[in-house]
Structure 1
Amino acid sequence: MHIQEYAALDRCNTLGLPTKARYLIQARCLEDVREALVFARTKQLPLIPLGGGSNVVFSGDLDAVVLRMAIAGKSVVSTLGEHTIVESGAGENWHDLVRWTLSQKAYGLENLSLIPGTVGAAPIQNIGAYGVELKDVFHSLQAVDCQTGGVVCFNRDDCGFDYRQSIFKGSCRDCYVIISLRLKLNRRLTPRLDYADLRDKVEKKALNRELSAELISDVVCDVRREKLPDPGMLANVGSFFKNPEVSASTVQQLKARYPDLVAFPAGERWKLAAGWLIDKAGLKGVREGAVGTHKQQALVLVNHGGATGQDVLCFSEAIKARVHARFGVLLEREPRVY
């Protein structure tokens, strides 16, 4: 097990924030994870698992053992009836897994194409896009208990999935290190085209190509590239705030003032489009020093170069304050802060 001391993490987080870890270890297998846990305990330091770094904000240097997840491997576990069970190591790139499942004629992930990050991070966040969430195709995962080093299996009910939420962000935060994920996918394509923008683009492209999961995936990639900046070109962590949930009465009050309010039902409550709120508050495309909101998507905070974690956090708090003052709605940060 190779251990780096005072390791720079600038290239390990998509916001490009200057950060150093007291220790950095790369985990390529289960035993690496176990050894890293023992090492962290010996040094009396917390252990921080890190995937692609696409959903974290480093507020400063980390006096911790950072475990870079690199457990690889993809396989078809079984094909039963209408479903195919696939398994992936936590260190695999998420988008690569999506495209691989389509090549195996296993469907259900096409709407989740081009979401940055690794497979192990997907259930923590319960990633979602265009009407599909990870929980919709989740089968199970394996994780290492940080106290005992034992391997624990979690099924869907165990994970407590909710909107951008799971027990791994809540009651079991920092208790487990996810090492593998299983997904229950469909052998027959059932397109999920609930979003009008996506449906229109798919229908237009399908005039010249047969409708397929690959076509849907391609369109999702096109739409994401149009709306979201490439972290390799402009540092960011994608959507910085969750879409806030409010009551139906709050929606009615806001619609009376803002007829163009973007809101959609979520069970007994409603979700507001956080990007619309930020845009309407006059904060789309603004910049404060090295930090700003993206000119095409107000929900995305970007590092124009040279920003620190504190710069990003201060800017995000200013956005929250402006939106709350105007709409009476409190935004919640999506990425985790260390």
Structure 2
Amino acid sequence: MFPSVSLKSFNTFGLSQSCNRLERIQSQDQLLTVLRELKQSNAPFLVLGGGSNVVFTEDYDGTVLQMAIQGIQVYEEEECFRLEVAAGVNWHQLVCFTLENGMPGLENLALIPGTAGAAPIQNIGAYGVEFCDVCDWVEYLDIASMTKHRITAAECHFGYRDSIFKHALKDKVIICGIGIRLAKAWSPKVSYGPLSELPAKDLTPKAVFDRVVAIRRQKLPDPEVLGNAGSFFKNPIVEAAQYAELAVRFPQIVGYGMEDGRVKLAAGWLIEQAGLKGFKLGQAGVHEQQALVLVNLGSATGADICALARLVMQKVLEKFGVRLEAEPNIIGHQQLEAENE
């Protein structure tokens, strides 16, 4: 069957790929029904959230399940609020909902694109806060057994931009909902980057939210205007000895010490120092304001984006001896290793 349904509006890069069939999943019953049908016919399928973490490099010869299940339930306890959030809820709208209803704790994660169901997969994070810091549980459907399961945050094996959903449970489950715990005793997380400039007397959840939104809008392009998937590369983590060597060669290098003694480097700084900020390769480009972001300048293909990503990885490896790793999932047959590996 020739792919016939456009996926351009279902991926934030705005890539003009297609699929055979698109199902917008708006309930768990619908998900079960569609999955049973697909399994009976042994038909391939792909689960998609907000499309903010994918690069399509070719048409998808199968069915795309776009998770659009909605719903937020709030349960108040003495020391916290517990939220049950459906997988299709827009993440930024969830952040706004919690603040508007006096439940702070997600403000550092404002304006991150995507859906709630995708948050645990990537363990999304920004400005010193990660999803794992507020996660209570994750509920998923096991594709093989067609049964629902709920696992705790500890069982998700969260790491930096990592989780069990990228490893043991990859392609085996579909996340249906998440549980979030927000402590009533709010304490601001403002030690990271520009947030540290906030005056102590003005530290409110709304003030932190406003600063995060302002920073992201200043540095990151709007996908509606310039196709992108947000930060394209993870901030690489190196051993302390390697960081010490790099700091001698590059005194201005940006790094953040971690509890285990290793150091997380700012990938955007590495890319900029490699001379690639604003660099263009055909219709794909490195954003002029934030080198961590790759953009579709108008008519780029997924192959164009991957070619640019490989070049960036190669140049950073050559200059710093540091390997970058892409954040988005590549849907197709492209590989993203640096060319000299």
- TMscore range, shorter length: over 0.9
- Residue aligned with 1:38, SS: helix
Distance 1:193 1:250 in 2: 28
Pairwise CA distance, 1:199 = 2.4
Aligned AA for 1:250? Q
Q: Corresponding residue for 2:211?
A: 219
Q: Count how many residue pairs are aligned between Structure 1 and Structure 2.
A: 329
User: Which residue identity is paired with 2:273?
Assistant: K
Selected match of 1:21 from 19, 22, 28: 19
Aligned match of 1:303: 296
Counterpart AA for 2:235: N
1:106 Cα deviation from its structure 2 partner:
1.4
Displacement of 1:80 in angstroms is 1.9
Which of 68, 84, 101 does residue 87 from structure 1 map onto?
A: 84
1:64-143 aligned within 5 A: 64-76=62-74, 78-143=75-140
- Deviation string 1:257-313 (CA, Å, 9 cap, x unpaired) is 100011111222111111111100000001111001000111100000111111111
Q: 1:327 aligns with which of 320, 323, 328?
A: 320
Which residue number corresponds to residue 252 of structure 2?
260
Contact 1:189–1:212 (CA under 8 A) maintained in structure 2: no
- Distance of 1:49 and 1:246 partners within structure 2: 33
- Is this contact kept in 1: 2:188–2:203, CA < 8 A? no
Asked whether the equivalents of residues 105 and 187 of structure 1 are also in contact (C-alpha less than 8 Å), the reply is no
Number of the residue aligned with 1:162: 159
Q: Distance in 1 between matches of 2:43 and 2:235?
A: 34
Number of the residue aligned with 2:337 = none
1:192 and 2:184 correspond: no
Three-state SS of the structure 2 residue aligned to 1:168 is helix
Structure 2 counterparts to residues 39-78 of structure 1, below 5 A: 39-76=37-74, 78=75
Partners of 2:44 and 2:162 in 1: how far apart?
Answer: 22
User: Aligned ranges for residues 230-309 of structure 1 at < 5 Å?
Assistant: 230-266=222-258, 267-309=260-302
Q: Normalization by structure 1: what TM-score? A: 0.94
Instruction: Map Cα deviations across residues 310-331 of structure 1 (whole Å, 9 max, x no partner).
Output: 1111110011111111111110
Structure 2: tracts of 5 or more residues without a match: 332-341
The two structures, once aligned, show a CA RMSD in angstroms of 1.4
Segments of 4+ moved more than 4 angstroms: none
Q: Structure 1: how far apart are the matches of 2:321 and 2:203?
A: 43
Q: Pick the aligned partner of 1:171 from 168, 173, 184.
A: 168
Aligned-partner Cα distance in 1 for 2:226–2:196 = 28
The sequence identity of aligned pairs, in percent, is 43
Q: Are 1:229 and 2:227 counterparts?
A: no
How far off its partner does 1:219 sit? 1.1
- Which of 30, 34, 37 is matched with 1:36 structurally? 34
